[in-house]
Structure 1
Amino acid sequence: MGFCNSCGKPIGKKDYGTNEDGSPNMDYCIECFENGEFTEPDITLNEMIVRKSKEMMAKNPNLRETEATGITTGFLPNLKRWYKEPDYENEDLM
């Protein structure tokens, strides 16, 4: 079992998103990716963090918002959909 590289949800074969040709896409879940496209192409990383933090808190009422946000903030930006390579060319190296 892997996890969705957009929302972080654990996924198995029945949860895979689909490519344009209908084949399974093992990087993303069906909630995030269908027919070769993201289901919510305009959602931002921050919006996904808020959504997933709320879902975590709903499943675990003892989880504080700061804890849930800390978990999602540490995890989601490193997923394939959100990860951005550092741009060293535009960084001031002084």
Structure 2
Amino acid sequence: MGFCNSCGRPIVKEDYGTNKDGSLNPEFCKDCFQNGEYTEPDITLNEMIIRKSKEMMAKNPRLAETHATGITTMFIPGLKRWNPEFQDDYKDIKDL
């Protein structure tokens, strides 16, 4: 099991996104990446952090907002979609 390099959710093969040629892309989940493109190309890093923090709190109502936001703020910026260090790696994946 890996993590989506856009939203950070755990993914298995059934959750993989797809490349332009229809092949599976293990780097991204199907909610974030389909047909070689992001499903929400204009979402910002901050919007993703807020969305994922809210999802975490919905799954665990006792989780404080500051804790959820702290986790997502530390984790999501390191994912390939958001980290400039990985942009060249992602370019190769997107071109598949």
TM-score in terms of structure 1 length: 0.89
Residue type of the alignment partner of 1:3 = F
Find the counterpart in structure 1 of residue 89 from structure 2.
Answer: none
For 1:92, the equivalent position in structure 2 comes to none
Q: Once the two structures are aligned, what percentage of the paired residues are identical?
A: 75
How many equivalent residue pairs?
85
Name the larger-Rg structure.
1
| TM-score, scaled to structure 2 | 0.87
Moved over 6 A (4+): none
1:8 matched to 2:8? The reply is: yes
SS in 2 for 1:25: strand
Distance 2:66 2:54 in 1: 11
Q: Which has the larger share of helix?
A: 2
Structure 2: give runs of 5+ residues left out of the alignment.
86-96
Q: In angstroms, what is the RMSD of aligned CA positions?
A: 0.5
Cα distance, 1:84 vs. partner?
2.2
Which blocks of at least 5 consecutive residues in structure 1 are unaligned? 86-94
**Residue 23 of structure 2 aligns with which residue?**
23
